[in-house]
Structure 1
Amino acid sequence: MEGMLAMSDINCIKFLRNHKSHSINRIAKNLDLNWRTVKKYADSAQLPSETIRPKRGMMYGTKWGEMVEDWLTEDQMLQKKLRRTNKKIYETLVANGFEGSYRTVCNFIKSWHMTSEEENDTRHERLQHPPGEAQVDFGTMEVVKDSHAVDVKCLVMSLPFSNRTAAVALPAENQECFLTGLKMLFEEIGGVPQQLRIDNLPAAVIQPRTTREEAIYTDAFLQFMAHYGFQVQSCNPYSGNEKGSVENKVGYVRYNFLVP
């Protein structure tokens, strides 16, 4: 695969080369790219600039396009049966002095919907789990202590690529227990994952991730992350399925090892 790459691919190559010290061969294999293409972007000081071609026509950069965009944005909040049809939008434009054709309006509406769908797709991450990725989460387990059933917290780590699981019982879900538990899990699996996916755990997250802003982490967790050299990725809001592997493993640990 040769030629011009998307900026996201180029940034990925730069990150793997400069921050992870991966070899050209390894990057090319992992990203399924040609060796020469990876070499070109990995060791080049210059990044190619993306060429954005302005769209032309009476619907672009004019009040007509702005009016249609406003209507389409409003209609997204309504049920489909209540939204304006292309014909209705065209008739309303003509009533306001529009002199273009019906096809021009339909093409503009189609282009707007395609762009809107692409923007929505960027808000949802692909649920692919490469080697070196781990997920962690707390679970509440019931155990017997002194003839009484009591709840304990269990920090569970899942490695989806290899389907491996590790868990450690802790007295609480606070920051000290969380960091201590991570250290114990690293020792259990015999290494440190390259990337750690977490939910909005109060022990590590000050401000949860939103659709517009990244999560803000505690200073202690950032220092811990820098010390062990892994990257962290918080889940999108209302997207618990992004860490479905560890949630399943929490249940597996509970029902197979910690049933009173």
Structure 2
Amino acid sequence: MKNDSEVKLYMQARKAGKTQRLAAAKAGMSERTGRKYEQMGKLPSQVKQPRTWLTRKNPFEQDWEWVTAQLERDPALQATTLLALLIEQHPDCYRPTQIVTLRRNIARWRALHGPEREVIFEQVHTPGERAQSDFTHMSDLGITIAGEPFAHLIYHFMFTYSNVEAVTLCFSESFEALAEGIEHALWQLGGVPQQHRTDHLTAAVRQTHRKETREEWTARYQALMDHYEMQPTWNN
């Protein structure tokens, strides 16, 4: 089978007005091969199908039922442990060098028949890209002053890459508390990220009745973001 670069060379020659014979000669292939790819309109890499068959017999086939039974009983079992047990039970059939084959077969079995795994979309954080913040009610801590409950909140600001953080004492989730908390954090931490993320704070996000957008930034919050040249974002 020809590679992509050869077929691309053939196609370029054809676009330049060359005959199939001249284009094929320039690309180092037969005229018939060039005609085939030209009719398909695809490169070799786009035509090649992944191999779905095994090239050799599974050497653990006679004891594979036992292997899968152990994996079903304890999904955390490793191939090294199972191979050691197989060698102990059948020293004439197995050897330590077969570990790679066993690992491959176990991985295939787990993908097809193993327990379902939790799907996790890992967040990738970039230095200087984003900070996020929120208000936290502190009443559950039962803090008192002179025996009287001290009702307050904490505005919590954090850079998502370094986890460097700053907090500000406040008494409501107002825009004034939000603006003071952001400015205090930026001056204390000595830097401004590209983005600032919040949840749907009423001090920053207002509901709209337009179908194309149900929420948008308040004018004062947008002005604060523009002043510090931060892009505002919110959590869904």
- TM-score w.r.t. the length of structure 1 is 0.39
Q: Which has the larger radius of gyration?
A: 2
Q: Higher relative contact order by CA 8 Å / sep ≥ 6: 1 or 2?
A: 1
